[in-house]
Amino acid sequence: MSHHDQDAPVHGGRSPANRLGLDYHTVPPRRFTGRSIDIHTHVRRSPTLPQFFEAADLYGVGTVVSMTPLDEVPALQDEYGDRLRFIAIPNWRQKDRTEDFRRQWLADLEAFAGRGARRMKFWMAPPMREKFPRLLRDDFFTPVLEQGCALGFDFMIHAGDPTAWFAPGGKYADAARFGTKESQYDQLEYLLERVAPRNVIAAHMGGNCEDPGFLARLLDRYPNLYLDSSATKWIVRAVAAQPEGVRALLLRHPTRILFGSDLVVADHYDFDHYASRYWCQVQMWESVYRGESPIEDPDAAPPPRLAGVDLPAEVLMQLYRGNAERLGYS
């Protein structure tokens, strides 16, 4: 489970990943020319996997860090070797969230560690509250946290979702079922304190790219907190609403934010889908682009917008590669 940055399948007409009819094989001018590390993907075995790697190669992505089901990891490692690194996740296909689920999760953590994973993820998005009424402080998670620490893992967490989804009429408007947007962050802060000094990546710009001031205060308070830029469609929307605020956040904390796409490899996607996320991130971080986003976005006021924040070269180096290297990726 994740906030995957997905488009609907194409059923004729222009792709929702390419509403502007761009040729994504033409990469925008780059100001970062190294090999980036995509810290947040969901790579699966699929006929479209070569198209994902075609897009990654074209846009200069080297190492890909993935949340892949454990049973698919061995074959992917055999084929791609160190190009792919893995984050330990539970078997979300197991619908029961009782003791059997936790027992399997604990066993899977050991198996992931044996496959070289050095980070584990907690998916604590608002639907967890509704479907499986547990928060990270719940005793259910204590053995999992202890096992992760014993195995030497660092952590990733998904806490929070787009602010628009909590607004009246949004899918999380019922605070009794989902909690408020603000209440999501108790789980993040609990994890940061519980596992310190181990580092924690808060996915999707900490679930609150709409409020860069809030994120800056969290980063000031917790030296073991990092953010990633994944959930590209959401991040594009939030940055376009306040590019200067987001730029100021990255300039204030250049060593704490990592590049990630949240791309999901699936049979119904194609090169344009995969390349669209990388195209948007290049424009967003490296350019002064002001215009429409090529990705359809039902949560944006039409037409969806994209704004470049023109980061300095030294900040781009940290974002795309340096920060991930300091966390043990290469």
| Residue pLDDT, tens place only, 255-302 | 999 999 999 999 999 999 999 999 999 999 999 999 999 999 999 999
pLDDT of residue 285: 98
Q: What residue spans of 81-141 are helical by DSSP H?
A: 99-114, 126-131
Residue ranges, the chain, pLDDT below 50: 1-3, 8-12
pLDDT of residue 132: 81
Task: State the CB neighbour count (10 A cutoff) for residue 251.
Answer: 12
Per-residue pLDDT tens over the stretch 132-158 = 888 999 999 999 999 999 999 999 999
Whether the model clears a pTM of 0.85, i.e. scores above it, the answer is yes
What's the CA gap between 214 and 244, in Å, rounded? 15
pLDDT of residue 11: 38
What's the CA gap between 191 and 262, in Å, rounded? 22
pLDDT of residue 212: 98
What's the CA gap between 180 and 328, in Å, rounded? 34
pLDDT of residue 4: 60
Overall size of the chain counted in residues: 330
